């Protein structure tokens, strides 16, 4: 299978939401489960494939040195285990290396320099490319253009894989750093990514106007991965207010705008992916 820019492709949904369904000991980063409970991660990947996902993202969102410190596992061990699991589950489908933020601010707002951030992502990218089993890099849930520039540069410098980058926006259409959709789109194009998009923070209804602006701001393929609505805390459990069929209706509206690639973020499950597949098949 290839990364087709002209066809509808379906990524997977949330990993964290699915992990909440298992009786696991909290306290460690979920990426450590790639080593301690690989069978659970593989089962989740397979459920998404069965629901209709064409692309599986590795359980490596936080597989970076700053977040794995103190776990007893290296970036290389966690990343390579994640890729092996995803590749086994994906079969002939594609595997995307999932790359998330460091969790720390970059200078001048924080303590990390651009070079330090670049080195952190370089280690993650090199660990992945050594396996030869990754088809693309998904740099997701970013809000800082400086940090994402370091991640993209690392991916471009140390691999020949396609790079997709998605940002997270607030309801008013700006990132936490105050950048609007058009600025983000122009910057990501300048950084040389192969596709851009929006994910997390918002449900599909709130994300629709952001997607409309993004469609008019770029000629690159667009990936959209909304949350399952807005979160609420009920009986100490985080629940979301959008059901799969409603989620899929908004996805179909985005597809009618010209968006080709879809998936889900927080709160989404294989049921959401199945609904998205059914909705797109009716276009």
Binding region for Zn(2+): 200, 265-266
Q: Are 224 and 181 in contact (CB under 8 A)?
A: no
The annotation places the binding site at: 200, 265-266
Structure tokens at 116: 């330090």
Number of DSSP helices (H) and strands (E) in the chain, helices first: 11, 10
- Tell me, what DSSP letter sits at residue 26? -
Closest CA to 278 of 11, 78, 51: 51
Closest CA to 247 of 231, 232, 267: 267
DSSP per-residue string spanning 193-214:
-SEEEEESSS-HHHHHHHHHHH
- Tell me the C-alpha distance between 149 and 181, whole Å: 16
- Tell me the C-alpha distance between 272 and 262, whole Å: 11
Q: Are 255 and 262 in contact (CB under 8 A)?
A: yes
- Tell me the C-alpha distance between 30 and 211, whole Å: 30
- Tell me the C-alpha distance between 137 and 74, whole Å: 20
Q: Are 154 and 118 in contact (CB under 8 A)?
A: yes
Secondary structure element (H or E) that encloses residue 56, with its range: strand 55-57
The sheet that has 94-99: what strands, in order across it? 9-10, 261-262, 222-225, 195-199, 163-167, 136-142, 94-99, 55-57
Closest CA to 257 of 225, 224, 215: 215
């Amino acid at each position: 299978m290839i990364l087709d820019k002209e066809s509808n492709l379906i990524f997977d949904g949330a990993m964290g939401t699915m992990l909440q369904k298992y009786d696991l000991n909290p306290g460690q980063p979920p990426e450590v489960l790639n080593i301690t409970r690989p069978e659970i991660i593989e089962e989740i990947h397979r459920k998404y494939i069965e629901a209709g996902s064409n692309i599986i993202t590795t359980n490596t969102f936080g597989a970076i040195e700053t977040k794995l410190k103190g776990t007893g596992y290296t970036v290389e061990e966690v990343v390579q285990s994640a890729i092996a699991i995803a590749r086994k589950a994906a079969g002939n489908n594609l595997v995307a290396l999932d790359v998330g933020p460091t969790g720390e601010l970059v200078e001048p707002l924080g303590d990390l320099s651009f070079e330090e951030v670049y080195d952190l992502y370089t280690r993650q990218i090199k660990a992945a490319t050594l396996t030869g089993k990754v088809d693309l890099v998904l740099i997701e849930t970013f809000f800082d253009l400086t940090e994402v520039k370091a991640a993209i540069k690392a991916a471009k410098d140390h691999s020949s894989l396609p790079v997709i980058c998605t940002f997270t926006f607030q309801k008013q259409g700006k990132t936490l750093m105050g950048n609007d959709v058009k600025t983000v789109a122009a910057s990501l194009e300048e950084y040389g990514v192969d596709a851009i998009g929006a994910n997390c923070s918002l449900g599909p209804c709130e994300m629709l106007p952001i997607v409309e602006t993004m469609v008019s701001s770029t000629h690159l393929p667009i990936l959209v991965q909304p949350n399952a609505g807005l979160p609420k805390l009920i009986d100490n459990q985080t629940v979301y207010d959008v059901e799969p069929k409603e989620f899929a209706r908004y996805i179909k509206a985005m597809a009618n705008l010209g968006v080709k690639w879809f998936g889900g973020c927080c709160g989404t499950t294989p049921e959401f992916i199945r609904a998205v597949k059914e909705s797109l098949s009716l276009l």
